[in-house]
Amino acid sequence: MRQYFGRKLLVYGLTFFVAVTINWMIPRFMPGDPVASMLARARVSQPEAVEAMRLYYTNLFGFDQPVWKQYLNFWAALLQGDFGISVWVFPTPVSTVIMGAVPYTLGLMIPAVLLSYFVGNRLGAFAARRKVLDNTVLPVGYVLTAMPYMWLAVILAWGLGVVAGLFPVAGGYSFAMRPNWSPQFVGDLLLHWFLPFSSLFLVALGGWAIGMRNMIIYELESDYSNYLAALGAPQRLIRRYAFRNAILPQITGLALQLGVLVAGALVTEIVFSYPGLGSLILKAIQNQDLFLLQGTFLFIVLGVLIANFVIDVVYVVVDPRTRTGMAGASA
């Protein structure tokens, strides 16, 4: 088991290294110059002033140092939690900006992922090989899982927000309020949370339901199920065994789907201008704020790595075989 985790951690470590390096490299090949854009925004035309500001910003961002040193500095700063300074909200540190957005993204993603996972798996397992249910769950599941996240979000915003007027279609909370823990504010928060959550939840739900339904059918057709059936075991018991076996690949599936779910959360946030990482990324792109974009990217990678690790741990806990030293080559 130590070997199993050692291997996993090595992969994650390497992944992080690669991500950081990509992150550092790409901006250096980018057209345009962030300092030039800052100066343009400052609308200053006197040459001395421009020079002074250019020097100042170049210094600040470290563009005047040799490349290898920039790379080392990048790592050194990173390890201290310093992602640089945002150009968009100059001079706020990127880490502060990200931290302000993270709670919203997590607040959307964690419930949406967990709930869709549990409900979807239950639904799929229940529907498998049950004619009527199967015929409804399957098509609905396929439509949901094939939907682009943002489209469902747009439809919900239009139907429930604009037409029916039940929910606000933008923002994390009402502009008349400031974050606090009064019931009024929490209610407002939930009201704004509901639509983005629903669209994330629904799309993911379809995928899990179908996946589980297919897995259960595999299991129900496998030899042990047939054997159990031949022995005269009750259907309920067979299904329970099937479910236990089917849940394992679904856990791996969760790890595989994390990237897609993150992507879904990002575009959903954009539709609803939900103040999470997705909206932040959009702003960073629109304002060519490379530090913010890099910081957000690294943060997402880090988050996904941690989530993957948690899933690994869960897998080991759930699957007795991995506990006894299976090297996890295919997990």
Residues 35-74 that bind other proteins (CB under 8 A): 36-37, 39-50, 52-53
Q: How far is the CB of 98 from other proteins (least distance, A)?
A: 11
Query: Residue 43 is encoded by which pair of tokens?
Result: 């609308």
With beta carbons less than 8 A apart as the criterion, state whether 264 and 203 touch: yes
Among 1, 263, 313, 327, which residue interacts with other proteins (rule: CB under 8 A)?
263
Q: How far is the CB of 235 from other proteins (least distance, A)?
A: 14
Closer CB to other proteins, residue 73 or residue 222? 222
Is 227 a binding residue for other proteins by CB under 8 A? The answer is no
Q: How far is the CB of 75 from other proteins (least distance, A)?
A: 18
Among 94, 137, 300, 316, which residue interacts with other proteins (rule: CB under 8 A)?
300
Q: How far is the CB of 308 from other proteins (least distance, A)?
A: 6
Is 100 a binding residue for other proteins by CB under 8 A? The answer is yes
Cα separation of 88 and 108, whole Å?
A: 25
With beta carbons less than 8 A apart as the criterion, state whether 208 and 250 touch: yes
Cα-to-chain-centroid distance, residue 283: 18
- Cis peptide upstream of residue 91 (ω within 30 degrees of 0): yes
Is 233 a binding residue for other proteins by CB under 8 A? The answer is no
Is 111 a binding residue for other proteins by CB under 8 A? The answer is yes
Tell me which residues in 155-184 interact with other proteins (CB under 8 A): 155, 157-158, 161-162, 165-172, 174-180, 182, 184
Q: How far is the CB of 95 from other proteins (least distance, A)?
A: 14
Backbone angles phi, psi at 91, to 5 degrees: -105, 45
With beta carbons less than 8 A apart as the criterion, state whether 87 and 294 touch: no
Q: How far is the CB of 116 from other proteins (least distance, A)?
A: 11
Is 205 a binding residue for other proteins by CB under 8 A? The answer is no
Is 250 a binding residue for other proteins by CB under 8 A? The answer is yes
Tell me which residues in 4-33 interact with other proteins (CB under 8 A): 10-12, 14-15, 18-19, 22-23, 26-27, 29-33
Cα separation of 261 and 254, whole Å?
A: 9
Torsion angle, alpha carbons of 99, 104, 108, 114, to 10: 40
Question: Considering only CA atoms, which of 223, 240, 209 is closest in space to residue 139?
Answer: 209
Cα separation of 124 and 144, whole Å?
A: 14
